[in-house]
Chain A
Amino acid sequence: MFFNSIDFAVFLPVVFAIYWFTQRYGLLYQNIVLLSASYIFYGWWDWKFLSLITISIVSDYFIAHKIHNESVKHKRKKWLWLSLFINLGMLAIFKYFNFFVDNFVEAFQFFGANINSVSLKIILPVGISFYTFQTLSYTIDIYREKIKPSNNFIAFASFVSFFPQLVAGPIERASHLLPQFSILHKFDYHKAVDGSRQILWGMFKKVVIADNCAEYVNVIFAQSDQLSGFILVLGAIFFGIQIYCDFSGYSDIAIGTARLFGFDLKQNFAFPYFSRNVGEFWRRWHISLTSWFRDYLYIPLGGSRSNTIRNIFIIFIVSGFWHGANWTFFMWGLTNALFFLPSILMKQNRKYLDVVAQGKYLPSPKEVILMLTTFGLISFSWIFFRAENLSHALLYVHNIFTIDFFNHSFIPPDINIFKYALTLFFILVLLIIEWLQRHKQHGLELKNNQITNWAIYLSLTSAIFLFGGGEHQFIYFQF
């Protein structure tokens, strides 16, 4: 079930009503409502997917207890390996099996050996990378004795399958989210209002900006061998805006929806395009995944204490492959590692921990240059992320520099100019609002008077209905 579908528009109020109605019957009933709702939400795509998430829930629930109850270290480790094997095994089969087999066959063919390819006709279960990482962090944290296992199966199952963040995050830690399933939630007016605003802001970003940008991106990337360098650069920038609005829009809707039920999810995007270097960008982009890799991969590898450069490359490349089984993601990760490296080597990666232009309305010229440079580098790396395959990406980059930079118009081909101008206007609106709100959790955290607020709500809603784009799928659902 997509957040931007009529199904969800019916589903959410129904679950909301039932959930708060069951408050009087206690915590168990609240959790049962959430668990049932999450299963319906997830099964809406394909009920067969439910078996995978059930395997994850059941296995990790019991393995966590085994790890906790076991005092012998190597036995604890065996149970952890079992959890890793089950979770990563499912991920490997459903997400990476065909990729590795194809590459294996190609490698053999390169050396003259012909072997028959075996490929599985399987579809990638929606959100498998997200909930796999969420449950993995649970068993690893128990192994590390940071948390204790849950004794409440329903609460644990609700935590793993919590529908607002099930299919595209934020990837929550058990230490933060699981305890919230152990307290009876009482309706909090301010939380619900703020959640509703965040949902509205997320919808605006997704439907009005991301979906409109998608139309131009699709045209530009499909005709990248015929367009001018300028249009290709524009295509990369549009994709940068599209993926930000698509994914952060999803996160806003997820966090806002969770708040309607009294839950707090962690901020997943902190206005990343206002970053002054790539290091800052990665502290502000997809925060739940970046911090996951930091805590469960980078630090165990030695972090910045030993082999820093190797560790940086490893986490960026693994992060690339986490997004998908394609060499384009590998290159995307590699490019980001290369861009990140200078700030590590010059010890600048933790230089910008504050919000840009703190306490000022406008950034300084230096800050503008730094932000534009960072945005430029990140947009360049998005070319690899968006391209169909590696040769397409390389050709795209090659064409930026070889095809006459201004040999076409400044406008992508086959588009409605008025709609294009309107999209640029909405991007400007986004930029202004997010700049003004950059100290806050989301773009619509308002403290205006009631009339201004209502005007904003109605304007955004009207824009969503009247000017929404044609693309509907969330990009990150495929991961």
Chain B
Amino acid sequence: MKKFLIKILIFALLFGLSNLVFLKLIQKYDWNFSKLMEMDAFEDREFDCLIIGNSLAFDGFDMTQFEENGINAYNCAIAGASIKTNLIQLENYLNQNKAPKFIIHGLSSYRNTDFNSEIVFPAVDYLYVDSKLSYRELPMIKFKWMGAELLKKVVSKDHRNAKIYRGQLRTVKMIPDKSQLPKNLLTQIDLGRYENAIYLASIDSICLEHNIKLISIEMPAYFECQNAAPIGPIYYKNSNGIKRSFYNLNNVEFCKLFNPTSDWLGDSHLNLYGSQKFTKYLFDNKIVSY
């Protein structure tokens, strides 16, 4: 019995060690995690612009154009982040750094993303929210999907060659958009989702409090997800009764800007070429200005 228990103990220790090694690996090599670690180390930074959002914003904004336009910007967007996650990130950033002049919030509404989702991105939860004592905190459970992402880097040259620049994921990988436009294109955005979005309203409040200009954008997506609603700005009243607006850049006419063969990275995500066109449009049309 003693020998068996010792073996079980060794197994548990080795498994614990494997979890630690895994945690160190993802902290160093996972794009999201390493970016969050970098951001966590920011102190008294004075960026002109922060970009927040999920994966669409992570690779959708060409950060070099911000630099060329004299804007000191950083892309804080994280793949798979909910709006609640964006809020937590923003709060933590503002606790340690100076408020930026403006924030661009890249939103994905095309799949009816739940704006009130309570899910917090695991690495954000790990870094900023008090950890609970639970088996779910084991790195191999908490950061499970990062294991697959890490493996992608081992086997895929495209993944290895992708670079992070000022928080933007820059990759020239191309996956053509072979999807079709829906037969009944939506001509109106469901504003109720915006009006009832509690975490969007919290971000609005923080921006008002810190005198930050907030630019909200529905990000472009594949044909199958596009709509025929106006580009905007579209106005609505948030859940605090404050008048707000957003740009609908998932508009079918606007999305003609992109080459379906060469500008996408897959599943509605822009690659480097797509992000260059997209960001140029934002500057040319004064959507990004301060």
Q: What residues of chain A have their CB less than 8 Å away from a CB belonging to chain B?
A: 6, 9, 20, 187, 189, 192-193, 196, 418-419, 422, 454, 457-458, 461-462, 465-468
Q: Which of B4, B18, B147 contacts A189 (CB 8 A)?
A: B4
Residues of B within 8 A of A418 (CB): 148, 151-152, 156
Given contacts A419-B148, A465-B138, A466-B148, contact A189 B11 (CB under 8 A): no
For the complex formed, measure the closest distance between the CB of B203 and the CB atoms of chain A, giving whole angstroms: 30
For the complex formed, measure the closest distance between the CB of B137 and the CB atoms of chain A, giving whole angstroms: 12
Q: Which of B7, B15, B148 contacts A461 (CB 8 A)?
A: B15
CB <8 Å contact, A466 and B147: yes
- Interface mask (B123-165 → A, CB under 8 Å = 1, otherwise 0): 0000000000001001011001001100110001000000000
CB <8 Å contact, B140 and A462: yes
CB <8 Å contact, B147 and A467: yes
For the complex formed, measure the closest distance between the CB of B229 and the CB atoms of chain A, giving whole angstroms: 26
Main DSSP-derived SS at the A contact region: helix
Q: Which of A20, A193, A419, A422 contacts B7 (CB 8 A)?
A: A193
Q: Top 3 nearest A-B pairs by Cβ distance?
A: A466-B147, A465-B140, A187-B1
Q: Chain B: interface residue count, which band?
A: 20 to 34
For the complex formed, measure the closest distance between the CB of B84 and the CB atoms of chain A, giving whole angstroms: 23
Please tell me if B14 contacts chain A, counting CB pairs below 8 Å: yes
CB <8 Å contact, B4 and A193: yes
Residues of B within 8 A of A457 (CB): 11, 14
Please tell me if B3 contacts chain A, counting CB pairs below 8 Å: yes
CB <8 Å contact, A458 and B140: no
Residues of A within 8 A of B140 (CB): 462, 465-466
**Nearest chain-A residue to B8 (Cβ)?**
A196
Residues of B within 8 A of A192 (CB): 4
For the complex formed, measure the closest distance between the CB of A117 and the CB atoms of chain B, giving whole angstroms: 39
Q: How far apart are the CA atoms of A457 and B22 in the complex, in Å?
A: 16
Given contacts A20-B1, A192-B4, contact A422 B18 (CB under 8 A): no
Residues of B within 8 A of A9 (CB): 135
Q: How far apart are the CA atoms of A6 and B140 in the complex, in Å?
A: 15
CB <8 Å contact, B7 and A465: no
**Nearest chain-B residue to A260 (Cβ)?**
B4
CB <8 Å contact, B138 and A187: no
- Interface mask (B10-47 → A, CB under 8 Å = 1, otherwise 0): 01001100100010000000000000000000000000
Q: How far apart are the CA atoms of A466 and B141 in the complex, in Å?
A: 7
Q: How far apart are the CA atoms of A418 and B150 in the complex, in Å?
A: 12
- Interface mask (B77-104 → A, CB under 8 Å = 1, otherwise 0): 0000000000000000000000000000
Given contacts A20-B1, A189-B4, A193-B4, contact A458 B14 (CB under 8 A): yes
